[in-house]
Amino acid sequence: MDLPFREARQTSPSPDSPSVGPRSINLSIAERQAICASWEKASTQSDIGCELVARLLNDNRTRFRALLECKSGSFLGSGNYTTEDVNGMNRARSVADGVNCFFNKVISKLMDHNYIEEIQDLSLQLGAMHFRMKVWFQAENWLCVKNCLLDSVVSALLKDTKGTYLICGGIKKVQTVEKHITHAWFKFVQFIIQNMKKGFLSEALNSDSHNQPKTECASPCSSSSNHSI
């Protein structure tokens, strides 16, 4: 199965590149409309929050499983987790709800005149919240979260039986997601992650973190009451 995001990741600049500023979202009206429409479609096909949490649990680079074990006091083992498993774990389900809540909120801002400032502010706040909740990020963790989220959206869109198909070898139909949609999502999620990181680092600079015990982790989550991603 071809996931167009893989190509975008290779050609797009890194979130940490000096040439990429936190305000460089640069989405056209058509791209914003595509994100809104594809999110609505993806959300009807799958629980994106659950998909993301399951992917983070199964990606050893994120150390998300270790975080949930630390927060819940339960040993999760080494097997692969499904969305059904996520629904059965209170802490994981809370994070999934937070993902859906956050993206419903930021996507609802996309057609506003000042959508850049609104989405940036929400992302900065979320990044700062992760620091306050002691969800500690490393450089690779940001990339893992972004990639898992993008893959979750693509996988949900590919479940739509009325979606776009390509003909391979004149016989076989292969379902795909249109490139302009995947490119728009890449820019959108990268903008959010950039500003989450900026908010996280800004909060770190304003806090006396040296005297606080740290638990390294790689996932966007916080307490169940805050429904963070």
197-226: pLDDT as tens digits: 999 999 989 885 455 555 444 444 433 334
187-200: pLDDT as tens digits: 999 999 999 999 99
Output the CA–CA distances (angstroms, integers) from residue 72 to 51, 65, 92, in the order listed. Answer: 20, 10, 9
What per-residue confidence (pLDDT) applies to 67? 73
Percent of the chain predicted with pLDDT > 70: 70
129-155: pLDDT as tens digits: 988 888 777 777 888 889 999 999 999
166's enclosing H/E stretch is strand 164-168
What per-residue confidence (pLDDT) applies to 5? 47
Instruction: Give the model's confidence band at 173: pLDDT under 50 very low, under 70 low, under 90 confident, else very high.
Output: low
Where do the domains of the chain lie? 29-159+176-206
What per-residue confidence (pLDDT) applies to 136? 75
CA atoms within 13 A on the CB side of 73: 0
Cβ contact 39:81 at 8 Å: no
| For range 106-129, the mean pLDDT | 96
Residue pointed to by tokens 């307490």: 223
121 has pLDDT over 60 = yes
Q: Between these two residues, 5 and 35, which has the higher pLDDT value?
A: 35
| For range 98-107, the mean pLDDT | 97
**The two three-digit tokens of residue 39, written as one number:** 């999110």
Q: Which class in CATH covers the domain with range 29-159+176-206?
A: mainly alpha
Cβ contact 109:118 at 8 Å: yes
